[in-house]
Amino acid sequence: MDKKNALRAGALAAGTTLMMLLMTSPALALTRDDGDDPGPGLSVVETLGLYVVAPLAIFAVITGLVMVLDRSHPDLRHTATKGKAKAGA
């Protein structure tokens, strides 16, 4: 029964992928559309800065703010007791 489900899932994934590829064919067209006015391309450094460095910087800023503004102190944190709770009779 496990192979049957795996085969069904694989066929569904392959069919979905094929349909998505067939539907995106106009995106690969080389002819220009009316009103199409692309801007100048990005250099390698600009692309890396925009799609790699900027998200990492935003992540670092958010992480830093959470760490700095965390007002909980280690002595105020509630931790589970080390001993096991006894079941009531």
Taking a C-beta distance cutoff of 8 angstroms, is the pair 3, 10 a contact?
A: no
For 15-52, the pLDDT digits (tens) are: 999 988 887 766 556 777 777 778 899 999 999 999 99
Taking a C-beta distance cutoff of 8 angstroms, is the pair 50, 42 a contact?
A: yes
pLDDT averaged over every residue in the chain: 82
Task: Please say if the pLDDT value at position 89 is more than 60.
Answer: no
pTM given for the model? 0.46
**pLDDT at residue 71, as a whole number:** 73
**pLDDT at residue 32, as a whole number:** 73
**pLDDT at residue 25, as a whole number:** 64
Taking a C-beta distance cutoff of 8 angstroms, is the pair 78, 70 a contact?
A: no
